[in-house]
Each structure stands twice: as structure tokens, then as C-alpha cells.
Amino acid sequence: MRIALLLAALPLVASQARPETPNFVLFLIDDLGWTDLACFGSDFYETPHLDRLAAAGMKFTQAYSACTVCSPTRASLMTGRYPARLHLTDWIPGHRRPKARLKVPDWTMHLPPGEITLAEALQPAGYVSAAIGKWHLGGPEHFPDRQGFSVNLGGCDKGQPPSYFSPYRIPTLRDGPAGEYLTDREADEAVRFLEANRDRPFLLYVPHHAVHNPVQAKKELVEKYQKKKPGRDHQKAAYAAMIESVDESVGRVMAALDRLKLADRTVVLFTSDNGGLLSNTAQKPLRAGKGSAYEGGVRVPLIVRWPSAVKAGSVCETPVVTPDLAATILDLSGARADPGRVLDGLSLAPLLRQSGGLAREAIFWHYPHYHPGGASPYGAVREGDWKLIEFFEDGRAELYHLKEDVGEKNDLAAAQPDRARALRKRLADWRAAVGAQMPSPNPDYDGK
């Protein structure tokens, strides 16, 4: 009898040990702005599943993307390193301004094969990985299947889908029935992957193409929002419908995790690759949007649900940045990162467990490029509540106290010259340490 009890208890012990090697579902939404979820402040877009995810997990109110545009953030998410260190600092292939004051450096337009992606780092720990959605880190020799992912559905060199409705004309995704909606299809494929891999550790990376342009959404959802009273800052019905489709996808993946009894040992992370596009949305009180040096360009939603460790409904105000998500996944997976490789990200485990803070003094950005969203070549640093932006064209700096001035309206650089000088030095030292590429004077500058 005692032996039988002991034996019966064994599987329980084994299953209790499982949370030590959790699964990961990582949603990366394209161009989703900081206030684009109901649980992050929207009074127009409806995101019940994401609100539920946040209520069951931790919401980060000061999460940042590693860059104000797409590809650099994606590279940072895959490697745990800053875009400046990777020399992958603009969206691929970037924006040409041949007559501008500064000449942009000769940057790297793909994720170098020598970099270790999350999928590659997790392989030795027995994980299988899938990338379902947008990749945008170089041509065929740099696609997800060449970077450690066993499954690649939709990942290619395109920065946006030619169409959100099938036929998609995406070379790595077979078309569905005519009229099938891309976000729904990506959700179908994500659920299919979960069903097929429920018995082994996995990383399911779901970088939805939504909510990037072109703004194309399902008719019935668009009509729903057309009938709805416009919100204070959000009014665009088709964009709202795109967000709702993303929310439905998250809901379907959450339901599949429940159904497959995987929810307790799966960490679900949800974030965006840069700020919202101002022609589609707004993220007040933040200043500007995608492609700008200000908070609207880089502050993004972040939700992490990890039932075995994260207190439901918790909120974290510590500033965190994209490469931290890679460091967190590496840390929780138990995969050993190469000790000779520098990671810029820090594991968020102490914040998630509410057991401590992060040993970090500052977060850095480096964008030696021009963008139609307003950015001219710049660098930025956030230390505590202070943020300094250095504009490389004229060497000017702006200084903001984000706690008192999240809208970056009051430039304090002249009022606090010592602080501005110290932060500029910190930024310059960091650039030297990571080998950041700088723009140079442009001999073809047209004087405008």
C-alpha cells in the first residue's frame, strides 16, 4: 500500500518539476502603440483577451522597444543584444536621404548568421521553435529556418504583407482559401504548432504582421467599430478591427494552452516592435510615434503571464527594453548562454517574481538614420527618470524628466547643464563600448 502511494506520487513530483523548464509563447505585434490596448488605456479598441492576459499576469508600464523602427527591435529580441552592437540599426532596407546633412553609416541589412538566436540558444535544452508571422531580418539565407527555427510560416524579407487577405503573396506561407484573413491564419498555425508539440519544451514566436500598414481588416469587425462612438484619441475603425483580430488570436492561443493543459508551465509574453504609427493611432500623453526619438516612438505595451511565478494582476513600473525579453527566456529555459557572448538584456525574473530589481543604470538607443516619422540621426539614454536625446546633425541635446513630464514638453538641458553633460558622456561611453556606428558629414548635403 505504501509503495503504491509512493509510486502514485511520482508523476506528481515530475509534473511539479516541469515549471523549471517552461514553454514560451512570444507575441510581437507590429507597430502597436503604447495605449493601443484597453488595459493600456484605449477607450475605443477592444481587447478582452489581452486584458485577461494582463489580469492574470504582469503589466509593464515602462517597457521600451530597442528601436523606433522594426528590424532592429526584431534582431534585438532574437539575440538579446542592442541593435547598435549588431550594426543593424534601421528597418531593412531603410530610408534613403542622399542629400541630407549626414551620411548614414554602412550598416548591416540582415541578422548575421554568426549571431545566436533564441531558437538556436534553446536547442541544446531540447526546445523546438516555430516562427509564425513576420521576420524582416534579411533574405532567404537569413530566414528563420536558417536561424534555429524548425517551423517558419510567413517569415521572409518583407516588412509588410502585400495583402492581409489570401492570396497573400508571401513566399513562405502557402495561400489559404480566397479571403482568409492573415491574422486568423497565423493564429490557426500557432494553435496547430501547440497541438503538435504539447509534449516537449517549445518556443512559439508569433510576430503577427498586424497591425502594420496596409490597414485591412475583416468587414464585420470594421462595421462594428464604424457604429461605435469614437474614442478620445482613437477613432479609426479599420485599425481597431485589426487590433481586435490580434486580440482574438491571443485568445485562441490562450484557450489552446488551457485545453492542452499547458497554461501553467507556459510563459506568455506580449509586446510591440516600436511605437504606434501616428496616421493610424495616437498614444497620448506620449510625444510623437513610430520613427521618432521621443517616447511615442519606443514606449510599448508589455504583458508577461507566468502562472507559477507571476502574481496575477501585478504591475511593474521598472523601465525594461526588448533585449531583456531574450535574456529572460534564456534564463527561465535553463539554456546556458555562451559565457563569452555579451548580452545587453537582463533577465526580468526578479521583477516577475517580485523578488528584486534589475542591476541596470541606464537604457540606450542608437539610430544613426533618418525616418519619415520625424527622426533625424540620434542617440538617447534613460537613467532613472531622466532621458537625454542627442541629435547628431547639430550635436544638440534635449533633457526630460519623464516622471514629471512624460510628454517631453519641457527641455531641461539648459537648466541642468551638469546632468546633461554627464548623460551625454554616459551615452558616448556606451557607444564606444558596443562599437556603435556613427553617421558622418555628407559631401552631397544640399544645404536644406
Which residues participate in catalysis according to the annotation? 70, 136
> Are the beta carbons of 397 and 420 closer than 8 angstroms?
yes
Q: What is the grid cell recorded at 1?
A: 500500500
Q: Which residues contact 195 (CB under 8 A, 6 or more apart)?
A: 256, 260
Binding flag, residue 186, Ca ion (CB under 5 A): no
**Rounded least distance, CB 290 to Ca ion, Å:** 7
**Rounded least distance, CB 368 to Ca ion, Å:** 18
Site string for Ca ion, 295-324 (x = CB under 5 A): ------------------------------
Q: Residue 197's closest CA among 149, 245, 155?
A: 149
Q: Which CB atom, from 197 or from 274, has the smaller least distance to Ca ion?
A: 274
Binding flag, residue 30, Ca ion (CB under 5 A): yes
Q: Which CB atom, from 134 or from 387, has the smaller least distance to Ca ion?
A: 134
Considering only 37, 38, 66, 70, the residue that binds Ca ion (CB under 5 A) is 70
Binding flag, residue 274, Ca ion (CB under 5 A): yes
**Rounded least distance, CB 158 to Ca ion, Å:** 12
**Rounded least distance, CB 439 to Ca ion, Å:** 22
Q: What is the grid cell recorded at 28?
A: 510581437
> Are the beta carbons of 77 and 300 closer than 8 angstroms?
no
Considering only 28, 31, 83, 346, the residue that binds Ca ion (CB under 5 A) is 31
397-401, strands of its sheet edge to edge: 363-367, 378-383, 386-391, 397-401
> Are the beta carbons of 189 and 252 closer than 8 angstroms?
no
The count of residues interacting with Ca ion (CB under 5 A) is 5
Listed ranges 64-72, 196-204, 249-257, 304-312: which one lies at the site for Ca ion (CB under 5 A): 64-72
Q: What is the grid cell recorded at 141?
A: 539565407
Q: Which CB atom, from 207 or from 319, has the smaller least distance to Ca ion?
A: 207
**Rounded least distance, CB 212 to Ca ion, Å:** 6
> Are the beta carbons of 373 and 68 closer than 8 angstroms?
yes
Q: Which own/partner pairs from 427-434 qualify as long-range (CB within 8 Å, at least 24 positions apart)?
A: 427/364, 427/379, 427/380, 427/381, 427/388, 427/390, 430/362, 430/364, 430/381, 431/84, 431/366, 431/379, 434/82, 434/84, 434/85, 434/344, 434/366
Listed ranges 27-35, 326-334, 349-357, 380-388: which one lies at the site for Ca ion (CB under 5 A): 27-35
Q: Report the site for Ca ion in 214-273 (rule: CB under 5 A).
A: 273
Residue ranges in contact with Ca ion by CB under 5 A: 30-31, 70, 273-274
